[in-house]
Each structure stands twice: as structure tokens, then as C-alpha cells.
């Protein structure tokens, strides 16, 4: 891949669209593209870690080991997302792991110092990044509120609404039906909404009967009006 190709890819995402070629070189973005095989860990049980990562393609599973050593998932990230030291500190990952899932992943990475220096130099970039952080925090807050206040079926419907909202690609089949790529198995969804795999399987069968969602291995078929009414929206 040429340098121009890398710049064109990055410019598709709002955070990078306004950077000059000089600033790409200052951040050393073009020197830090990395390919990660499906199932490989970008880092595991990270504590002192000094990098921030941007997903160019593929999906990343973020998680941690629970008190008995089982892997617990806390988020699934897709192209355009950041992970790693997103707060621009060095010691706040608290044993987090990041793993490529469902396909190979393409990343670019930067040291915290390089990225922080660019944000100071480019105020508009800092504003865009802070907005992205705000969206990420609201997503976690909404998930916590759902865990505290909603039953499992409503949590699943809210989760599907979020997937639809964040989907990078979709296939419209009429005014109400939309299909989006599916990169999650039932166990992963269960961990993200705080229930069991068996419950998620049962709930997807109910949503299919309700005409709200059809779960497929490669895609989700959603009916927007019923999805919205099912969540109480």
C-alpha cells in the first residue's frame, strides 16, 4: 500500500479528514500501520501501556479477566474506533486485553506522547477527539442504566438499536427492513447486555416471532418500526 493510499483511507474518517500531509508525518501515522491476524491479541492484561490504536478495518474485542480467570467482554469496536490509552495516560488499562475478532484487523498506532502533541498543535482535532470520547462515555452510561433499569429483552432491543445506529454498512430492503453485518455470537452479546447465552438465544427466537429481528451468522435483519416500538421508543 502506497503512502497516498494510506492517507486516503484515513481521510474517510472525520478525525483525520483535516490533517495535512506534514501532520500525518508528525504523528508517524503512515509508519505505524499494522496487520493483526484473527484471534491474535494486540495486548493482553495491559497495565503500563503507552499506545493508542485506530481501527482501519476489522473488529476488536475489548475485555479483561474476571476474578476466576475467565475472559469477560466489555466492548466490541469497529472501523473508525480508537482503543488503548484513549485517556492519553499510561497506567489506566487495568489489565485490559484487545483481540482481533471474526477477521484479520488493520490498525495504525501512535504513542501517547505523539498523539497528545498533535492534539495540542491542532485544536480542531482535539475538539473532534473529545466529542468522540463523549460519545463513547455516553454509550457506556446508557449500557449501565439499561443493566440497572431494564429487563433482558429490552436491553437486547436497545443493543440492537445501537448496532443499527453505528453500522458502517447496511442494505435497505424497503422502507422498514434493513440488514447490517453481524460480527457477534450469542455469548458475546450476552456478556455485553449482562445475561446468559441461553437467554440471548431464547430472546432472539422471541424477536423473530415478534417480527423485530432475524439473527443470522453473517447479518442481522431488523425491522425498524417494530424495533423502535419494542424498545418503548
User: Which CATH number fits the domain that encloses residue 158?
Assistant: 1.10.10.10
Q: Are residues 14 and 84 in the same domain?
A: yes
Q: Are residues 161 and 140 in the same domain?
A: no
Q: Are residues 65 and 18 in the same domain?
A: yes
pLDDT in 10s for each residue of the chain, 233 residues? 666 777 777 777 877 777 777 777 766 665 678 899 999 999 987 766 888 898 988 999 999 888 888 888 889 998 889 999 888 877 667 788 999 998 899 998 888 888 888 888 888 888 888 988 888 888 888 888 888 889 999 999 999 998 998 887 889 887 889 999 998 999 999 999 999 999 999 999 999 999 999 999 999 999 988 888 776 65
Number of domains in the chain: 2
Residue-level pLDDT at 219 = 94
Taking the CA atoms of the chain, what radius of gyration do you get in angstroms? 19
Question: Of 145, 162, 178, which residue sits at a domain end?
Answer: 145
Question: Of 121, 145, 169, which residue sits at a domain end?
Answer: 145
Domain with 201, as residue range(s), is 151-230
Residue recorded with cell 483535516: 18
Residue-level pLDDT at 30 = 59
Residue-level pLDDT at 39 = 93
Cα–Cα distance measured from residue 25 to residue 226, given in angstroms and rounded to the nearest whole number: 48
Residue-level pLDDT at 83 = 92
Q: Are residues 88 and 178 in the same domain?
A: no
Residue-level pLDDT at 182 = 92
Residue-level pLDDT at 146 = 81
Residue-level pLDDT at 99 = 94
pTM of the model: 0.80
The CATH number of whichever domain residue 114 belongs to comes to 2.60.120.10
Q: Are residues 88 and 124 in the same domain?
A: yes
Q: Tell me how crowded residue 161 is: count the other CB atoms within 10 A of its CB.
A: 17
Q: Are residues 71 and 181 in the same domain?
A: no
Q: Are residues 180 and 125 in the same domain?
A: no
Question: Of 145, 178, 208, which residue sits at a domain end?
Answer: 145
Amino acid at each position: 500500500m502506497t503512502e497516498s493510499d494510506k492517507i486516503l483511507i484515513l481521510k474517510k474518517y472525520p478525525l483525520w479528514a483535516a490533517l495535512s500531509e506534514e501532520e500525518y508525518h508528525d504523528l508517524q501515522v503512515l509508519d505505524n500501520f499494522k496487520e493483526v491476524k484473527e484471534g491474535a491479541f494486540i495486548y493482553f492484561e495491559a497495565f503500563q501501556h503507552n499506545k493508542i490504536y485506530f481501527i482501519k478495518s476489522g473488529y476488536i474485542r475489548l475485555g479483561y479477566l474476571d476474578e476466576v480467570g475467565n475472559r469477560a467482554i466489555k466492548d466490541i469496536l469497529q472501523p473508525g474506533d480508537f482503543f488503548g490509552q484513549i485517556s492519553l495516560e499510561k497506567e489506566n488499562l487495568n489489565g485490559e486485553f484487545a483481540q482481533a475478532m471474526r477477521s484479520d484487523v488493520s490498525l495504525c498506532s501512535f504513542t501517547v506522547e505523539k498523539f497528545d502533541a498533535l492534539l495540542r498543535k491542532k485544536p480542531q482535532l482535539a475538539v473532534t477527539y473529545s466529542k468522540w470520547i463523549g460519545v463513547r462515555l455516553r454509550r457506556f452510561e446508557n449500557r449501565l442504566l439499561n443493566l440497572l433499569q431494564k429487563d433482558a429483552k429490552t436491553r437486547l432491543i436497545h443493543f440492537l438499536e445501537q448496532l443499527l445506529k453505528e453500522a458502517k454498512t447496511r442494505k435497505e430492503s424497503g422502507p422498514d427492513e434493513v440488514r447490517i453485518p453481524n460480527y457477534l455470537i450469542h455469548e458475546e452479546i450476552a456478556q455485553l447486555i449482562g445475561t446468559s447465552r441461553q437467554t440471548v438465544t431464547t430472546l432472539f427466537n422471541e424477536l423473530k416471532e415478534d417480527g423485530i429481528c432475524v439473527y443470522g451468522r453473517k447479518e442481522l435483519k431488523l425491522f425498524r418500526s417494530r424495533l423502535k416500538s419494542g424498545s418503548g421508543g
